[in-house]
Every structure is written in C-alpha cells, then in structure tokens.
Amino acid sequence: MEDALNKAIHTMQEEGAEFCDARYEDRWGLIISVSNRELRNLSTNRIAGVGLRARIGGSWGSCSGGRFDPESLREMARKAVRAARSGDCPGTPIPEQPAHTGKFQMKVRVPPANVPVEEKLAMVKDLDEAQHISDRIVNTNAIYSESKRTTVLVNSFGSRLRWEDGRLRLNAIAVARENGRMESYREGLAGSKGMELIQQRDLNEMGVSAAREAIVQLGAVKPPSGRVTCITDPEISGLLAHEVMGHASEADEVVKRRSFLTDRIGQVVADEQITMVDDGTLEGGYGTMLFDDEGTPASRTVVIKNGVYNSYLHDLETGASMGVPSTGNGRHEDFGRRVWVRMTNTFFEAGDWKLEEMLEDVKFGVLTDKFVNGMEDPVGGSFEAKAHRGFLIENGRITRPLRAMTLTGKALDILHTTDAVGDKVSMDPGTCGKGTEDHVPVSSGGPYCRSQIIIGGD
Amino acid sequence: MEEVKLDAVTLAHMALDAAGKAGATQAEAFAVRSVTKSVYVDDTRIKICEEKEDQGIAMRAMKGKRLAQVSSTAVFENDAVACAKVATLLADRSPSSRTYDRFPLPSQATLSPGPWDDRIESAEAANLIELVKATIGTVAERGVKVPRGVLRVATIESTILNTNGVDVSHRSTLMYANYDSMAEGTSPGEGVVSFNSPWLEDYAPESLGERLAQQALSARDAKALDGPVKGTVMIAPWELGQMLATSIMPAVSAESVYKKRSPWAGMEGKQVASEKLTIVDDPSDRRGLLSAAYDDEGVPTSVKRVVEKGVLKTYLYDSYNSSIDRKVPSGNGMRRRPQDAQYLFRSSLACAPVNMVVSPGRRPPEEIISSMDEGVVVDRFAFPTVSPYTGAFSLEVRSAHIVRNGSTAGHIKHALVTGNMFDGLKNIVEVGNDATIAGDTILPSIAFDGFEVVGSR
C-alpha cells in the first residue's frame, strides 16, 4: 500500500502540488446493544479507502474513494490537483517537515480481538440486566462499541507511516418513570485501551448505579435561574475547557481572526489557579493518538498556564501561517473528510481543593453532574453547556437533586471568578464536531471548579 | 489475476447468494453507491474542492430468530462474500429475538420514486464554486465576512434485496449548505444559515447571502438581555426543526414506544398538541430529501397523518418494531440521512420518519409578529436540542429580537429560553406559512406561549 500511495504522491507532485499527502485507512467496528433484555444490535462495520490531498497556494484539492488500484489512484491524484487549482486562498507554503517513518501500534494489555464475541455479548446482557432494580425502571440500555483503525500515510516530505489504534466504549442508560414523569441517567467508560478498561469496573455496580440515579432524578426539582455559585463537576469543567477555550484555541480560527483568543498569547485570561492542556499523548484517553492525521506525532500543549494564555493548537497549515511547528492537532473524521485543527484530550489541571472544602463555603449554589452536550462560540466566547442534572447547595450542604440545566455566560468572565479548583482530574469521552459535522473522538475533563455562572432550566 | 471492480447491484446479488450458501435462513442486502462533491469556504475564499465516491453493503443475516448485521466498503466480489459469511457467523452467536422472525415481504409501491435532479448529478466543481462565490460575494458586499462554509451535492443509488423476494432500487439527490458569517467590531456578530434541498434550482445564493449578512449585523448590534421577557416566543424553522427532531420524532417512533420511553406512549387517538398542529410523514413530497417509494428495508412508504389537529393518529413502524405488536410496517425503516451521503451502508436501521411535514398556517412570520404584544423571535440558538424523555429544554440564544406592540424593539443575544416542548405544543399561538426544508423535516416558524426568556447577565 505504501508504494501505491507513493506513486499517487509522485503523480500529484508532477501535476503541480506544492504539498500533498495520501492516506489509506481501514476502520472496523463492533457494536452490541441490549435494551429491555432484548438484543437490538449485533453488528460489525468497516470502511476502507484512500484519501488524497494536494495543496496549491493556500487551497486544497481532495479526492477519496474505496477503489485503490493503480489506475484509480492515478486518476484520483490528478483530480485532487485539478481541484486544488480551483481554489483562490492565499497561503504560506508549508515548510519542510521531518520525515517520519516506521510501523507503530497503540499498546493495550488485553486486545479486544482476544476476547470472543460471546463473552462481550454476555457482558452487555449482564449490564442491561443489572439495571432492572425496580418497577420504576421502564427502559434499560447497555451499549458496547469497539473500533480499530489501520492508517498508512505517505506525504511529499518523505514520511511513510503505518500505525494502528483503537478505542472501546461501554454505556449503561436507564430510564425511570413514575406518575407520568420520566428521567434518565447514564454511567459509562471509554478510552483508547483494551478490555482491561472494562475488566477494572464492577459492571453490576455500574448498571445498578445508572438505574438508582435515574430513580433519584424522579424527585428532582427545577433548578434556580440566574447567576449563582456553581461547582462544576469534572464533565462540565471539561466542557468549558473544550467548547469555549479549546475551540477558540484552534489556530485556524485565530488565523482568520474569528477567535476571541486572537492576539491573547501572554495575556492573563483566567484566575492563576487555572492551567489548561490539550494532550494527545494522555495514556488511555479517548482522544489519544500516536500521530495526527497529517503524520505529526501527538503532543501535549499547555494552552493556559497559571491563568496566562500560552499557546494555540496547530496543524501543518496553521503552523506555517503563524511560523510555529504543528502541535499534532490536524485530524479528520475519516479518510474521506477534511483535515483541520481539532482537539484531543482537553482539560484543566488539578488545584488543591477538596470537594468538601468547596461546598463548605457555599451558602446557596449548585453542584452539576454530567454533561448532555455543549456548543462552541469562538467568536463571542460564550459558554453553553447542558448539565444532565445538579444538586442544590444550601449552607454548605447538598440538599436536593435538580433537573437538567443549562450553564451560560462569557467564558473569560467565568474563569476570572473561579476561586477554587479541585485536587482530582477525571476525563470523559465524547465526539466533537466542528460546526455541524466532522466528528472526531476526544475527551475532556478537569477537576471540580467553583465559579459564578448563569444557569437556567425547566 | 486482477480482481474485477463491480457495481453495487451485482455485489448485492452476490452477497445474498453467499449468505444462503453460508447457512443463513434469511438474508437482506442493502447496497449503496454515492458520489459527493463539496466546496469549502475559509475566510471568504474557496479553500477546498473535494470529490469522493463510496460504495458498500449492509448485510443482515438471520438464522431462525437470530439476527446480525455486517457492513463494509465493497468494491470486489470478495468484499460482498465476506460480508455475507461474517453476518451469518455472527447471527449464529446472537440470542433469539422474542418476536422478529422475518425480513419484509415484497409489496408494490403506491407512491412515486423520490426526487432526482439531473443538474445535481452533472454538477462540476466549477458550477458549485460559482454558486458559492455568488453567496459569499453578496455577504462581502455588506461588509461581512464568511469565516467558513460548505456547499455539497451528492447522488445516492441504493438497492435492497432480500431472500423473501424484495428487490427494489432507489436513487436520490441532495444539496446541503452551511455558512457562518461574521460582522467585525468590538463585539463581533455571527450568523449561521443552512440550506437543504434535493433540487439545485432551490439554491438562491443572493437571498442566502443577504440572510447571512443580516444575521451577523443584527448579532453585532445585539445587546445581552438583562431581565426576563414575557409573552410569545416564535422560533425560526431550522432551530425548531432540530428541537422537533429530538422530541416529536423519537416520541412517534415505535422503537421509543415499545421501549416505554416515549412521552406519547399510550396516547394514540388522544390530544397531544394544539389543534393548530398537523404533522404528516409524507414520502411523496418532492421537497423531501429522503422522499422515496420504499424505505431502506424495501417496504413501500405511505403518507401518514401522524398528528392531526393536535390528535396523535399513529406511530411509525419499521419491520422489527412492527413484529412486536403484530402491526404492519409503515415504511419507516431508515438508513439514509438528509445532509450527508457518505457510508450510508454503515448506518444501522432506525425507526424514523421519512419526511416529516408540519402543515403551514396562513400568515407569514412578519404578520404574526405584528400581532404580538410582547415576545421574542429566535433566529438562532447555540444548540437547539430537547430532552426526548421529558421535553425539557433550556437553550442559549445566539440571535433573536424582542417584539413590543407588533414591532421589533431591539436585537438580543446571550439569553436563555427555557420550557418544555411537549407542553409548548399544546400552547401554540400560531403556525407560520414560511415552510422551510430543514433536514428531514419541512416546517414553518411557530409561535408558542408558555416558554420563559431570561437574561444571562
């Protein structure tokens, strides 16, 4: 395959590409889902194909497909270059990069392929069964997915790489109903690990917890609205890191001055307790990679250091525009979609507060629990995060569960009000889109953080 | 010997044959080929031109009541045969379904084939670039940038075969665009406009550009809302479409009903919404991106009045969910999506509407606004989703305007609109007549009472 891709590189260069790369990907996945004690999905899926990119000036042409015989590849290479000539973007040439070569494999202790599908099926059925703890639980769901990917990448700087990586995910989602009211709760785990990730967790406890907490939510009340003292849990802290500070740190937004963080390097943007990192090398993280999709080794980038803005995230192109090296953040959803600057594992680092200490000082406030979703706003710098639920804090104590709520406000205003940062970081997996599509696996997280945030909910 | 590249229909036949030889008692092959052409905009320039082609098969195999699916990119005979063999092997390991024992039987379609636009099929990058440049040019003339955008056209050709004799083919076209606009200033304003249609002629670059520019300029001039606003809340079609996609669509799916997580379970024949609301699943509508004579299991589709004058008339059934209560499948087993044609073979079947159409009212939004004493008109939320279990939502407003005494009294941003969609549907003030294609829903603006608008300062 490397040789075939190399020929495509030569064709694109002959046709006039100033920079070009060619990648082959074979992506395979297994999904098992059980709902209400019935198997609903036992399936595998595979996409395989080649994606070619050619750059002329600041414009790209790209061509992809599932046919990769020499004749098809030659034609695709010509099409990619022709397409690149159609664009009209000015751009800085991508400077010569070190050529990376070799074969690499993400290390896991128990490869999922070594575990028979019957065993995985039994595990998912057990997780579904564990949720049946009460008549009030009307719907149970257990979903397992695993994926593996083989990538071969060749580029015009001489890189010839082959690597393999994979991910696992297991979720329990229980729905409780009483007197016409429904609530749900989820428990999950995920990472770029092998089956050891799942073997470390008591799945019965995981299923029971999802069901028990769904029932607790039946007694939840409407959250308060307005600006309150809010202790964000690691998932919501992570959403703040990812959605607002992270997306606005993607350098393609900075190059076109669409980010509210443009020209902020060296400036104080948060309380000095805040340090934020994007780390594609984080062991076992759901967004962890060996290389990004341009063949740049994954790296750790300190975005905010002790409240001072430190670095943007780069792919090859934005690095060239701003005269810095790529940070290994050029990613794509698959070989048939665009590569651009994307996050990996994004989080706030730990401070030194215990959660109990944070609670003690709060007369009236909210503690959030788990995210539903969030949305970036690199232009305005505002924050929108939906929390699955929360707890009311009154006179330093948690008093009652709250229904789902939305947290909003200007991110920098929030970070300047952060007066306590917890001492433990935890990460949660997700899938991140940019705009409305191009979803890549990421994780985000942080410690509990105490800030002033506007909330509202029904 | 060099392998021979094969078309999707031939591969589907090969896969079906191979599944039988591997021991499947029943098998189904969904084979699809798509060609997608896209142009991406970056900072008001043409950044990427892209062409992509994919072809693959989703193979469902059954052994008795044991079912499994394997899907794969498929170009050669080996791809199709491997799919069939592995699906059959996987079915061996699957537990038996309680009720599902048969793929659909062949049946004659009553509706016409879905929309196909020859102009989309023949569109070249140069044609798309021309449309994109006309759009971003209109925006730029108003002093507004287009930081990013995409215009995409695609053709999709699919075939569904099963061992019960289903043998149907379908082809369709889609066009999708999504642009961000940005008006610079000390507090920049941003707009987002999306477009979806199966027809190239529906794409009107100048009016789309005008809307993009207007949204960004209004957002730049907008003020953060301080206090609460009482009264009516009118929501624009694209935003409302996403809210309904996460509330009504799952509520009428038999999958949610049988899983007991639909708030409308047990409500057939009952009033669930205002009499002003009628919703039809209409696979015959030529505006529908997924409109087709057959669903993605090969079951004939039909026009169904899902909600009529506020009364829930029926749920939607694919073949699996219809087996639970011995219903007839309603032609709602879907794999295709309205905005993206790639790797459709990889999707699992979902029990979902084909083309949900909200019946329009009589008056345009401007006239409805002129009748409002006080309220808010929302052009754009940050992420307009609703809890499918409870209907609750709390959404950050990115662009809206306040209405007082029938006139616009200023633009706002950074407010929260909170409420419950299932309650809101019972409190519809008026349905507009500005029907818009928003993904797999065609709907107008709707004005509601009972939602709260709170300031986020």
Could you read off the pLDDT of B429-443 as tens digits, one per residue?
Answer: 999 999 999 998 999
pLDDT over 90 for what percent of chain B?
A: 89
**Of A36, A43, A336, Cβ closest to residue B259:** A36
pLDDT at A375 over 90: no
Could you report the per-residue pLDDT of A143-167, keeping only the tens digit for each? 999 999 999 999 999 999 999 999 9
**Of A41, A62, A435, Cβ closest to residue B48:** A62
Domain count across chain A = 2
**Of B125, B342, B382, Cβ closest to residue A86:** B125
- Contact flag A84-B49 (C-beta cutoff 8 Å): yes
> Is residue B261 within 8 Å of A182, Cβ to Cβ?
yes
Greatest CA separation for chain B: 78
Residue B313 host element (H or E): none
Residue of A295, A120, A305 lying closest to A199 (CA atoms)? A120
A264 and A395 belong to one structural domain = yes
A316 and A451 belong to one structural domain = yes
Q: Which tokens go with B354?
A: 């084909």
Question: Where among A169, A193, A217 does a domain terminate?
Answer: A217
Contacting A residues, span 381-400, partner chain B, CB-CB under 8 Å? 382, 384, 386
A163 and A260 belong to one structural domain = no
- Contact flag B187-A380 (C-beta cutoff 8 Å): yes
- Contact flag B75-A138 (C-beta cutoff 8 Å): no
- How far does the CA of residue A158 sit from the closest CA of chain B (Å)? 23
CATH number at residue A143: 3.30.2290.10
B46 touches chain A (CB under 8 A): yes
**Of A182, A377, A382, Cβ closest to residue B263:** A182
d(CA B229, CA B35): 48
Contacting B residues, span 373-402, partner chain A, CB-CB under 8 Å? 382-383, 385, 387, 389-390, 392-396, 398
CA A369 from centroid of its chain's CA atoms: 19
DSSP bridge pairs for B260: none
**Of A60, A66, A386, Cβ closest to residue B48:** A60
Mean pLDDT of A42-68: 95
CA distance between the termini of chain B: 71
> Is residue B85 within 8 Å of B68, Cβ to Cβ?
no
Could you report the per-residue pLDDT of A71-117, keeping only the tens digit for each? 999 999 999 999 999 999 999 999 999 999 999 999 999 999 999 99
Per-residue pLDDT, B223: 86
Q: Tell me what the pLDDT averaged over chain A comes to.
A: 95
pLDDT at B270 over 50: yes
Could you report the per-residue pLDDT of B389-422, keeping only the tens digit for each? 999 999 999 899 999 999 999 999 878 899 999 9
Mean pLDDT of B222-242: 90
A118 touches chain B (CB under 8 A): yes
A367 and A441 belong to one structural domain = yes
Domain ranges of chain B: 8-219, 222-455
Nearest residue in chain A measured CA to CA from B420: A458
d(CA A407, CA A244): 12
d(CA A443, CA B3): 42
A205 and A335 belong to one structural domain = no
- Contact flag A380-B398 (C-beta cutoff 8 Å): yes
Residue A454 host element (H or E): strand A449-456
Residue with tokens 């549907």: B425
Mean pLDDT of B92-108: 95
Contacting A residues, span 14-43, partner chain B, CB-CB under 8 Å? 31, 35-36, 38-39, 41-43
- How far does the CA of residue A213 sit from the closest CA of chain B (Å)? 15
A196 and A235 belong to one structural domain = no
d(CA B118, CA B155): 10
- Contact flag A88-B413 (C-beta cutoff 8 Å): no
B70 touches chain A (CB under 8 A): yes
Question: A137-155 and B189-197: which strand pairing?
Answer: unpaired
B47 touches chain A (CB under 8 A): yes
B342 touches chain A (CB under 8 A): yes
Mean pLDDT of A420-435: 94
- Contact flag B261-A182 (C-beta cutoff 8 Å): yes
Mean pLDDT of A322-344: 97
Among A234-238, B57-61, B121-125, B335-339, name the one with the lowest average pLDDT.
B335-339
Q: Which tokens go with A422?
A: 């917890």
- Contact flag B45-A86 (C-beta cutoff 8 Å): no
Q: Model confidence at B2, in pLDDT bands (50, 70, 90)?
A: low
- Contact flag B48-A87 (C-beta cutoff 8 Å): yes
Nearest residue in chain B measured CA to CA from A46: B72
Exposure b/e, B278-316, CB count within 10 A at least 16 = b: bbbbbbbbebbbbbbbbbbbbbbbbbbebbbebbbbbbb
> Is residue A458 within 8 Å of A403, Cβ to Cβ?
yes
**Of A31, A63, A458, Cβ closest to residue B394:** A458
Residue of A121, A175, A114 lying closest to A144 (CA atoms)? A121
* Residue A219: count of CB within 10 angstroms of its CB: 11
A269 and A250 belong to one structural domain = yes
Per-residue pLDDT, B375: 95
pLDDT at A214 over 80: yes
Question: B428-431 and B45-63: which strand pairing?
Answer: unpaired
Could you report the per-residue pLDDT of A428-439, keeping only the tens digit for each? 999 999 988 999
d(CA A339, CA A331): 5
Residue with tokens 């979609």: A337
- Angle subtended at Cα B62 by Cα B56 and Cα B64, rounded to the nearest 5 degrees: 175
Question: B279-281 and B304-308: which strand pairing?
Answer: antiparallel
Q: Tell me what the pLDDT averaged over chain B comes to.
A: 94
A161 and A283 belong to one structural domain = no
Could you report the per-residue pLDDT of A164-202, keeping only the tens digit for each? 999 999 999 999 999 989 999 999 999 999 999 999 999
A253 and A299 belong to one structural domain = yes
* Residue B64: count of CB within 10 angstroms of its CB: 12
Q: What is the 3-state secondary structure (H, E, C) of A166-214?
A: EEEEEEEEEEEEECCEEEEEEEEEEECCCCHHHHCCCHHHHHHHHHHHH
d(CA B385, CA B395): 8
d(CA B307, CA B227): 36
Mean pLDDT of B112-136: 96
B409 touches chain A (CB under 8 A): no
B71 touches chain A (CB under 8 A): yes
- Contact flag A61-B129 (C-beta cutoff 8 Å): no
Per-residue pLDDT, B344: 96
Q: Which tokens go with B131?
A: 């449309």
Q: Which domain holds residue A190?
A: 2-217
- Contact flag A41-B52 (C-beta cutoff 8 Å): no
**Sequence-separated (6 or more) residues with CB below 8 Å from residue B138:** B205, B206, B208, B209, B210, B212, B213
Per-residue pLDDT, A226: 86
Q: What is the 3-state secondary structure (H, E, C) of A64-100?
A: EECCCCHHHHHHHHHHHHHHHHHCCCCCCCCCCCCCC
Among A60-74, A272-286, B221-235, name the one with the lowest average pLDDT.
B221-235
Contacting A residues, span 94-113, partner chain B, CB-CB under 8 Å? none
Contact list, A372 vs chain B (CB under 8 Å): 385, 387
**Of A117, A255, A375, Cβ closest to residue B382:** A375
CB pairs under 8 A between A and B: 241
Question: Where among A156, A190, A217 does a domain terminate?
Answer: A217
Contact list, A67 vs chain B (CB under 8 Å): 5, 53, 75
Mean pLDDT of B182-191: 92
Nearest residue in chain B measured CA to CA from A333: B342
Per-residue pLDDT, B431: 98
> Is residue A314 within 8 Å of A325, Cβ to Cβ?
yes
- Contact flag A379-B5 (C-beta cutoff 8 Å): no
**Of A41, A89, A184, Cβ closest to residue B46:** A89
A234 and A107 belong to one structural domain = no
A177 touches chain B (CB under 8 A): yes
**Of B48, B53, B392, Cβ closest to residue A59:** B48
How is domain B8-219 classified at the architecture level of CATH? 2-Layer Sandwich (3.30)
> Is residue B400 within 8 Å of B415, Cβ to Cβ?
yes
Nearest residue in chain B measured CA to CA from A57: B47
d(CA B420, CA B62): 42
- Contact flag B457-A454 (C-beta cutoff 8 Å): yes
> Is residue A8 within 8 Å of A74, Cβ to Cβ?
yes
CA distance between the termini of chain A: 55
- How far does the CA of residue A50 sit from the closest CA of chain B (Å)? 10
Per-residue pLDDT, B4: 67
Signed CA dihedral, B362, B366, B370, B374: sign only: positive
Residue of A346, A320, A202, A198 lying closest to A255 (CA atoms)? A320
**Of A177, A384, A457, Cβ closest to residue B418:** A457
Residue with tokens 């999708």: B176
pLDDT at B362 over 70: yes
**Sequence-separated (6 or more) residues with CB below 8 Å from residue A242:** A343, A346, A374, A430, A432, A442, A444
Per-residue pLDDT, B3: 63
Q: Model confidence at B455, in pLDDT bands (50, 70, 90)?
A: confident
pLDDT at A382 over 90: no
Mean pLDDT of B296-321: 97
> Is residue A49 within 8 Å of A335, Cβ to Cβ?
yes
d(CA B162, CA B146): 47
Question: Where among A217, A251, A270 does a domain terminate?
Answer: A217
- Contact flag B46-A90 (C-beta cutoff 8 Å): no
Residue of A370, A355, A363 lying closest to A420 (CA atoms)? A355
A266 touches chain B (CB under 8 A): no
Per-residue pLDDT, B248: 96
Mean pLDDT of B216-221: 91
Per-residue pLDDT, B1: 45
A221 touches chain B (CB under 8 A): no
A198 and A341 belong to one structural domain = no
A183 and A287 belong to one structural domain = no
- How far does the CA of residue B449 sit from the closest CA of chain A (Å)? 15
Residue of A66, A89, A64, A94 lying closest to A77 (CA atoms)? A64
The region, left, alpha or beta by phi > 0 then psi within -120 to 50, assigned to residue B390 is alpha
Nearest residue in chain A measured CA to CA from B419: A458
Per-residue pLDDT, B414: 79
Q: Model confidence at A451, in pLDDT bands (50, 70, 90)?
A: very high
